[in-house]
Structure 1
C-alpha cells in the first residue's frame, strides 16, 4: 500500500509542471492569436503593408439605400475620386473604405433631410486594375483578381526578364502613393503599382 501511495505522489509531482507548461503554452497561443486578430482588424498583411481596401478612380459600385429607389443604382468613381449620386450630387469616395463610404452616404442623407434613419449597402461590381512595371515580359495594367499576390501579378505580366531583381519589389499604394519594399508573398490590391527593378550584376 505504501508503494502505491509513493507512486501516486510521484506521478502528481510530475503532472504539476506539465500542467503549468500546458497553461503557459495555451496563454502564449492566446496572446499570439489576439495579436493576429488585431493585425487583421487594422488591415495589416504579412509584409507590413496595409491591406484594407480603399476606393479609387475606376471602381464600379452598386449602392442600395433601403426604401429609397431614387439613389439606389450602379455608380463609378470618376477621375476626380467622386461619385455622382442622385439627390446628393458629388460624394467623395477616393481613399474611403466600404464602411466609411456607407457611413458618409447615410450621414449626408440624414443631414440633408432626405431620410431619418437611412441604411446603405455597397457592393463592388468591378475593381480598378493594378499595374506591373519594370523588368517583366509584358508591363502594363491587369484586371484585379481577389487573393492575388505579387508573384501572381508578375506571372500575369509575362514573368521576369533576365535583368530582373527577383528578391524585393517596389509597391506603390493609395492616394498618397506610399512606396514600400515587399516580397513575392505580399498581397496585391486594386490600383497597386508593382515595380520590378533591374538587378546589379
Structure 2
C-alpha cells in the first residue's frame, strides 16, 4: 500500500513541476510579446560612432523629416528604423565611395519626450524614462485633477501620418512620443 502512495506522490510532484514550468513559459512568452521594439523618430538624440574616424562620430538629433545629417554623406533617413537598421543604412552610405570598411555603432542617447493631456494638474511635454507606465506619467504631471477618470485613458501612439488610439489603464507602458489623454469623469 505504501508503494502505491509513494508512486502517486511522485507522480503528483512531477505533474506539479511540469505545470509550474508550463505557467512560467506562458508568462515569459506573454511578457516578451508585450514589449515593443523601439523605432527611431524625430526628437531622438543618437550617438553615431564610426570606429577609426573620430571626426565622423558624434551625437546627432533626428530632424523633423526623420533624418540624421552626417559628415560626408549628408542626410540619412532613419525614421521608423531600429538602431540596428539605422546602423546598416549609415554603413551602406559610408561604404558608397567614402570609407572602405566602415564599422558603425548607433545608440540612443536621449529619447524624444512623451506628452500628457486632459485631466492632470500639469499637462505638457515630459522627458521619457524607459519602463514608464501611465501611472508614472500621471505622477510626473503632478497627479490627476479631481475630475480625472482613471477608467477612461487613451494613448495616441505613432507619428502624425500613422497615429493609432490605444485604450489604456494605469499599468499600460508609455513609449517615447506617446500622447497620454486622461478623460474627464462626469460623476
In 2: Cα distance, 1:153 partner to 1:64 partner:
32
Q: Given the alignment of the two structures, is residue 153 of structure 1 paired with residue 146 of structure 2, yes or no? A: no
Contact map agreement 1:54 1:174 (CA 8 A) in 2: no
Query: What residue in structure 2 maps to residue 13 of structure 1?
Result: 7
Query: What residue in structure 2 maps to residue 172 of structure 1?
Result: 156
Query: What residue in structure 2 maps to residue 48 of structure 1?
Result: none
- Say if 1:135 and 1:74 are closer, same or farther in 2 by CA, change over 3 A: same
User: Once superposed, what is the RMSD of the aligned Cα atoms?
Assistant: 2.2
Q: Given the alignment of the two structures, is residue 55 of structure 1 paired with residue 40 of structure 2, yes or no? A: yes
In 1: Cα distance, 2:154 partner to 2:74 partner:
37
Alpha-carbon deviation of 1:54? 1.7
The TM-score normalised by the length of structure 1 is 0.81
Alpha-carbon deviation of 1:92? 1.0
Q: Given the alignment of the two structures, is residue 96 of structure 1 paired with residue 81 of structure 2, yes or no? A: yes
Query: What residue in structure 2 maps to residue 72 of structure 1?
Result: 57
Unaligned runs of 5+ in 1: 1-5, 46-50
The TM-score normalised by the length of structure 2 is 0.86
- Say if 1:128 and 1:86 are closer, same or farther in 2 by CA, change over 3 A: same
Count the aligned residue pairs. Answer: 185
When Rg is computed on C-alpha atoms for both structures, the one with the higher figure is: 1
Q: For residues 141-190 of structure 1, give each alpha carbon's deviation from its aligned partner in whole angstroms, at most 9, with x where no partner exists.
A: 11222222111111221211222211231111122212101111111222
Alpha-carbon deviation of 1:72? 0.9
In 1: Cα distance, 2:148 partner to 2:20 partner:
45
Q: For residues 48-102 of structure 1, give each alpha carbon's deviation from its aligned partner in whole angstroms, at most 9, with x where no partner exists.
A: xxx3222221211111011223321121111111111112111112212212211
Unaligned runs of 5+ in 2: none
Contact map agreement 1:129 1:143 (CA 8 A) in 2: yes
Counterpart pick for 2:171 among 165, 174, 185: 185
